Amino acid sequence: MTLSQVISHLSEVIFPPKCLGCAEILKPFNGQIFCSTCHEEIQFINGSICPVCGTTFSDSPAENHLCGDCLEKRPYFSYARAVFSYEEIILKAIHQFKYNRNISVGEMLASFMADFSFPDINFTDYSLMMPVPLHIKRLRERGFNQSLILARVIGKKKQIPVNFSLLKRRKFTLTQTGSNKKERKQNIKGAFEVSDPQKIADKNIILVDDVYTTGATVNECAKTLIRAGAQKVSVLTIARVLPH
């Protein structure tokens, strides 16, 4: 047994891994982050989805096809993919990470994201990974950028360099919570800028965020990157809000 394995084993004995949903101790621990009961209640994003934004078609018998929003106006990103539906158990886990400052929860979710199968995304096609940036005022309030935590874990596992300084949020925006799609789009318009366009020219970029709600924020980021010279932008999030 190697030293790192011994340390890992001792850590599990002293701080036994717990389910992110109900805090039950996971025994035996095989790398999972939810107990079997919580796992059964979680909705994973799979099945028939929009090939661009990744929304699901629970009542559609057809294979993957563009959703109404993407048919009406194609987003600037090529793909947006999420692991989970943004519902009770996942919502609580993300809130532990984002608002209760439990960084280890975020790292576990990010590791799960990195190991999740995204059939449309070949990670070897991408040479740069970026978090959705926070405005400096929001960063000071929160103390960390949750999207950067996710990007660093995923980037390390996928061996993709992470850059958090090229894409900047130049405009302080009000919280998007409670806003409809039109309000979100207007609120975030012109909020981002690229500090050095030469460093993203012709690159394929993965943009990382925690939750995809209407897509307004990640699409505005993608628009900024594409207009600054990026070749392709794809989006990864822990969860997304699905249509009822």
Q: Tell me the three-class secondary structure of the chain, residue by residue.
A: CCHHHHHHHHHHHHCCCECCCCCCECCCCCCCCCCHHHHHHCCECCCCECCCCCCECCCCCCCCCCCHHHHHCCCCCCEEEEEEECCHHHHHHHHHHHCCCCHHHHHHHHHHHHHCCCCCCCHHHCCEEEECCCCHHHHHHHCCCHHHHHHHHHHHHHCCCECCCCEEECCCCCCCCCCCHHHHHHHHCCCEEECCHHHCCCCEEEEEEEEECCCHHHHHHHHHHHHCCCCEEEEEEEEECCCC
Tell me how far apart the alpha carbons of residues 75 and 95 are, in angstroms, rounded to a whole number. Answer: 28
| Listed residue (98, 94, 104, 132) closest to 239, CA to CA | 94
**Of 13-27, 107-121, 205-219, minimum mean pLDDT range:** 13-27
Mean pLDDT of 84-101: 94
The strand pair at 167-169 and 192-194 is best described as antiparallel
pLDDT given at position 59? 64
Note the pLDDT tens digit of each residue in 113-135: 999 999 999 999 999 999 999 99
pLDDT given at position 37? 92
* pLDDT-based confidence at residue 103 (cuts at 50, 70, 90): very high
Question: Quick check: 13 pLDDT over 60?
Answer: no
Question: Quick check: 58 pLDDT over 80?
Answer: no
Q: Which CATH class is domain 46-240?
A: alpha beta
| Listed residue (141, 154, 149, 243) closest to 206, CA to CA | 154
Mean pLDDT over all residues of the chain?
Answer: 88
Question: Quick check: 95 pLDDT over 60?
Answer: yes
Mean pLDDT of 140-163: 96
Domain boundaries, the chain: 1-41, 46-240
Question: Quick check: 18 pLDDT over 60?
Answer: yes
**Of 2-6, 47-51, 96-100, 174-178, minimum mean pLDDT range:** 2-6
Name the token pair of 164: 């958090």
Tell me how far apart the alpha carbons of residues 165 and 227 are, in angstroms, rounded to a whole number. Answer: 17
pTM over 0.75: yes
